[in-house]
């Protein structure tokens, strides 16, 4: 019998009953204010309780302002939603990292930094970027509100088993090319539905060399390839990251955990249902030109001509994208002028991301007419960055330094890009209207975003940063 | 959830790939805590001009489509965000089924969980339905029990997970079913490793 993949091992260890679908046990459910109120209302309507509040963690991230928090939430609807989460957590005894908690932040940033995300766990959240947690070798995926309610009530979820897909990333990332460029390159290669009905395992020398924060960036954007989840086998990098985090195992439990975690890798003779290869050494910094994350090219490239797409749907999509983005085919990416910069999100709002952006921004000034904000992924990231002086580098250069939240990634809070605005964004989605109606989003790495803030257009950060 | 059995009605077709849930229901409409009333915001940014007026060219605003019951869509429909609001909006507008060459995984689950019948068909068959649906009066009949679709000259069978089919036909409360597996869930819980975290223990602020 062939060996098992990491995904199969984690899946099998969570099956309570059934085959297609299987009832899977959930080790951790993360909850936020936007996709949970109707789930809690459903529970109340049926007189049901939360089975395991001790395996549930809530925070407030999507709708929170990133400035002047002491003034409270001024958006009436957002306030109602946030107050509902507070009341629901109080009723059911769920731990909530509220706005006054130093651990508040984006749900996919705080669980890993608290040590709650661990190898071999099954983690769900009413948010598609739950794939982030797969960076630790957890099986983690986004779910809808009906499923949120189901998990609250039963601590389980019905799922049909997806296929397994390997993305083998060999070689070494060149200098100036980031994990964001790696995943944008992979998505561009396999397409926004290329991972559909599969769980991706990222493998290979380039993946093993990534830090945990870089791995989270890669797994975060797995959903942008349509995959159910993304995973990376836990290794010494993972264990070193977890050691001594607040919710990580302690003492004898740490030894037991380590013993279990080291078995969580794909057997040498395991067979994947599909395999793709990416050569990391050939990657360059990427910039998206269109309205989905696969509509992306290298910074040394140009806005494509729609007729170069052979598939008629992709061609139509490119035509509409160029119209929305107000771009002409053949325009060099370095000629595109931006007026907004957003550095943050669950893709790129961690300490290493802010360090990369600060290295570029240090001693420089944001171009006149460019509005640039830095939104740490959590209040802990914010505190760590301030301890290193990154906030002063940003503010001296003319960036705004904000409080933690999802912010301009999806513009549910006041950080909306105005109609016609063009934003270099470290977030994960460049959909039409994502950052505000009529706003145009270009996905880039933190270093690329910082460099564009200073020049006012996209530049090749490989020529920018001193080696 | 209301049981789903047979669906008969006219169609609305949207021949685009990769329609994401941000287009189906934009973020500004996700701030409500209610579960219904999202239909009027369906495809809001495409259905309205920048000045807020209705975009009469957009198919959802064509008066002869107002009674459509089946949405015919392109590949990878419903990709992106997990927001169930997308499925709620489609159902609240009046649709009872979505047919596409492929549906994004989370959207497909969300649709099935609220009784919006998700059907994936070969691209060639969807292309035929696109042709038929250009006539706003053309009718489609979907029979979930028999797993058949009939429209114009087209008669075909479709695949669906037997468990999903049973839930839809019965309008079954899935949570109720799962609570019936309480012993198996408790047994699994008792085997759960001691090193796995609990959110109520440890982790001082």
Spelled out in words, what is the top-level CATH class assigned to the domain B6-172?
Answer: alpha beta
Q: Tell me the shortest Cα–Cα distance from A193 to chain B, in angstroms.
A: 6
The verdict on A75 touching B (C-beta cutoff 8 Å) is yes
Q: Which two tokens stand for residue B168?
A: 């839809």
**Digit-coded pLDDT (tens) for B7-27:** 999 999 999 999 999 999 999
Q: Are B46 and B104 in contact (CB under 8 A)?
A: no
Is B168 strand, coil or helix? helix
Q: Tell me the shortest Cα–Cα distance from B48 to chain A, in angstroms.
A: 11
What is the edge-to-edge ordering of all strands in the sheet holding A122-125?
A95-97, A56-59, A28-31, A122-125, A139-142
Please compute the mean of the pLDDT values over residues A399-411 and round it to a whole number. Answer: 97
Chain B residues 133-152 with a CB less than 8 Å from chain A: none
Residue in chain B closest to A258 (alpha carbons) equals B195
Tell me the pLDDT band of B202, cut-offs 50, 70 and 90: low
Q: Are A459 and A434 in contact (CB under 8 A)?
A: no
Contacts A–B by Cβ distance under 8 A? 221
Tell me the pLDDT band of B1, cut-offs 50, 70 and 90: confident
| Residues above pLDDT 70, as percent of chain B | 98
Chain B interface disruption, residue of A38, A120, A144, most B CBs within 10 A: A144
How would you label A32-70 residue by residue, b for 16+ Cβ within 10 Å and e otherwise? bbbbbbbbbbbbeeeebebbbbebbbbbbbbbbbbeeee
CA nearest A458: which of A309, A357, A326, A339? Answer: A339
Chain A residues 262-301 with a CB less than 8 Å from chain B: 292
Find tokens 């942008």 and name the residue. Answer: A224
Q: Are A179 and A209 in contact (CB under 8 A)?
A: no
Please compute the mean of the pLDDT values over residues A397-415 and round it to a whole number. Answer: 97
Please compute the mean of the pLDDT values over residues A14-31 and round it to a whole number. Answer: 97
Q: Tell me the shortest Cα–Cα distance from B116 to chain A, in angstroms.
A: 13
* Chain A positions in Cβ-Cβ contact with residue B32 (cut-off 8 Å): 77, 81
Cβ contact (<8 Å) for B84 and A35? yes
| Cα–Cα distance measured from residue A147 to residue A153, given in angstroms and rounded to the nearest whole number | 10
Which run of H or of E encompasses B170?
A: helix B162-170
| Cα–Cα distance measured from residue A460 to residue A307, given in angstroms and rounded to the nearest whole number | 27
**Digit-coded pLDDT (tens) for A81-122:** 999 999 999 999 999 999 999 999 999 999 999 999 999 999
Residue A467 has pLDDT above 60, yes or no: no
Residue B203 has pLDDT above 60, yes or no: no
Q: How many angstroms separate the Cα of A185 from the Cα of each of A99, A226, B62?
A: 36, 15, 40
The verdict on A316 touching B (C-beta cutoff 8 Å) is yes
Structural Rg of chain B based on CA atoms:
20
Name which residue leads in pLDDT, A275 or B205: A275
**Digit-coded pLDDT (tens) for B36-90:** 999 999 999 999 999 999 999 999 999 999 999 999 999 999 999 999 999 999 9
Work out the angle at residue A171's Cα, subtended by the Cα atoms of residues A169 and A172, and round it to the nearest 5 degrees: 105
What ipTM does the predicted assembly reach?
Answer: 0.97
CB nearest to B195's CB, from A34, A197, A253: A253
Chain B interface disruption, residue of A431, A434, A438, most B CBs within 10 A: A431
Residue B205 has pLDDT above 50, yes or no: no
Q: Are A257 and A392 in contact (CB under 8 A)?
A: no
Residue A2: what pLDDT?
84
| Cα–Cα distance measured from residue B91 to residue A46, given in angstroms and rounded to the nearest whole number | 22
Which run of H or of E encompasses A67?
A: none
Q: Tell me the shortest Cα–Cα distance from A142 to chain B, in angstroms.
A: 6
Cβ contact (<8 Å) for B203 and A246? yes
Cβ contact (<8 Å) for A16 and B184? yes
Chain A residues 421-440 with a CB less than 8 Å from chain B: 429, 431-434, 437-438
Please compute the mean of the pLDDT values over residues A241-246 and round it to a whole number. Answer: 97
Transcribe B115-164 into DSSP letters: T-EEEE--HHHHHHHHHHHTSTT-EEEEETTTTEEEETTEEEE----HHH
The verdict on A185 touching B (C-beta cutoff 8 Å) is no
A138: left (phi over 0), alpha (psi -120 to 50) or beta: beta
Cβ contact (<8 Å) for A34 and B31? yes
What is residue A122's DSSP assignment?
Answer: E
Residue A465: what pLDDT?
61
Find tokens 């429209």 and name the residue. Answer: B151
What's the whole-number average pLDDT of chain B?
96
Residue A464: what pLDDT?
80
**Digit-coded pLDDT (tens) for B78-108:** 999 999 999 999 999 999 999 999 999 999 9
Cβ contact (<8 Å) for B105 and A160? no
Chain A residues 448-467 with a CB less than 8 Å from chain B: none
* Chain B positions in Cβ-Cβ contact with residue A23 (cut-off 8 Å): 178, 181, 184-185
pTM for this predicted structure: 0.98
Domain ranges across chain B: 6-172, 173-205
Residue in chain B closest to A319 (alpha carbons) equals B16
What's the whole-number average pLDDT of chain A?
97
Residue A271 has pLDDT above 70, yes or no: yes
CA A90 to the chain's CA centroid: 28
**Digit-coded pLDDT (tens) for A132-149:** 999 999 999 999 999 999
* Chain B positions in Cβ-Cβ contact with residue A197 (cut-off 8 Å): 105
List CB contacts of A50: < 8 A, sequence separation 6 or more. A43, A56, A92, A93, A94, A152, A153
**Digit-coded pLDDT (tens) for A319-330:** 999 999 999 999
Residue B201: what pLDDT?
76
């Amino acid at each position: 019998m062939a060996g098992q993949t990491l995904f199969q091992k984690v899946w099998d260890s969570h099956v309570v009953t059934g085959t297609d679908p299987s009832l899977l046990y959930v080790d951790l459910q993360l909850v936020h204010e936007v996709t949970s109120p109707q789930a809690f209302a459903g529970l109340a309507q049926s007189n049901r309780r939360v089975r395991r509040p001790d395996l549930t963690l809530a925070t407030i991230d999507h709708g929170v302002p990133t400035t002047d928090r002491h003034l409270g939430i001024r958006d009436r609807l957002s306030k109602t939603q946030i107050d509902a989460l507070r009341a629901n957590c109080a009723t059911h005894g769920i731990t909530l990292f509220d706005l006054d908690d130093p651990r508040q932040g984006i749900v996919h940033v705080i669980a890993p930094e608290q040590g709650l995300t661990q190898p071999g766990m099954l983690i769900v959240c009413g948010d598609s970027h739950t794939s982030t947690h797969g960076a630790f070798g957890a099986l983690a995926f986004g779910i809808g509100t009906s499923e949120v309610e189901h998990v609250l009530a039963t601590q389980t979820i019905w799922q049909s088993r997806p296929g397994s897909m390997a993305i083998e990333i060999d070689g070494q990332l060149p200098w100036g090319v980031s994990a964001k460029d790696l995943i944008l390159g992979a998505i561009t290669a396999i397409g926004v539905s290329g991972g559909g009905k599969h769980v991706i395992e990222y493998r290979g020398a380039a993946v093993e060399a990534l830090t945990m924060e870089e791995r989270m960036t890669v797994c975060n954007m797995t959903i942008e390839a349509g995959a159910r989840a993304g995973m990376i086998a836990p290794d010494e990098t993972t264990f070193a990251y977890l050691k001594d985090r607040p919710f990580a195992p302690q003492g004898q439990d740490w030894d037991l955990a380590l013993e279990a975690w080291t078995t969580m890798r794909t057997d040498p003779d395991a067979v994947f249902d599909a395999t793709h290869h990416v050569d990391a050494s050939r990657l360059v910094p990427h910039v998206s030109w269109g309205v989905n994350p696969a509509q992306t090219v290298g910074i040394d490239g140009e806005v494509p001509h729609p007729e170069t797409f052979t598939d008629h749907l992709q061609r139509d999509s490119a035509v509409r994208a160029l119209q929305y983005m107000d771009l002409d085919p053949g325009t060099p990416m370095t000629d595109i002028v931006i007026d907004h910069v957003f550095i943050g999100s669950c893709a790129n709002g961690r300490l290493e991301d802010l360090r990369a952006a600060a290295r570029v921004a240090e001693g420089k000034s944001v171009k006149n007419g460019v509005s640039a904000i830095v939104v740490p992924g959590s209040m802990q990231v914010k505190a760590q960055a301030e301890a290193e002086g990154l906030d002063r580098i940003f503010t001296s250069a003319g960036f705004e330094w904000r409080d933690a939240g999802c912010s301009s990634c999806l513009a549910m809070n006041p950080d909306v890009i105005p109609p016609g605005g063009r934003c270099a964004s470290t977030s994960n989605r460049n959909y039409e209207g994502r950052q505000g109606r009529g706003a145009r989003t270009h996905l880039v790495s933190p270093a690329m975003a910082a460099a564009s803030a200073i020049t006012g257009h996209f530049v090749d950060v490989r020529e920018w940063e001193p080696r | 959830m209301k049981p789903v059995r047979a669906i008969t009605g006219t169609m609305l077709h949207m021949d685009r790939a990769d329609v994401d849930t941000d287009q189906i229901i934009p973020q500004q409409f996700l701030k409500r805590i209610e579960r219904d009333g999202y239909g009027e915001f369906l495809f809001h940014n495409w259905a309205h001009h920048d000045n807020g007026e209705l975009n009469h060219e957009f198919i959802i605003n064509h008066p002869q489509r107002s009674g459509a019951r089946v949405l015919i869509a392109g590949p990878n429909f419903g990709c992106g965000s997990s927001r169930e609001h997308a499925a709620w909006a489609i159902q609240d507008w009046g649709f009872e089924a979505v047919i596409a060459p492929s549906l994004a995984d989370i959207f497909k689950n969300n649709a099935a969980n609220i009784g919006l019948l998700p059907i994936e068909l070969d691209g060639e068959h969807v292309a035929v339905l696109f042709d038929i649906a250009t006539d706003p009066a053309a009718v489609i009949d979907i029979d979930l029990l028999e797993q058949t679709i009939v429209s114009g000259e087209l008669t075909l069978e479709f695949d669906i997970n037997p468990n999903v089919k049973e839930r839809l036909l019965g309008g079954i409360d899935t949570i109720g079913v799962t609570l019936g597996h309480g012993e198996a869930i408790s047994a699994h819980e008792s085997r759960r490793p001691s090193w796995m975290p609990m959110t109520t223990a440890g982790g001082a602020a």
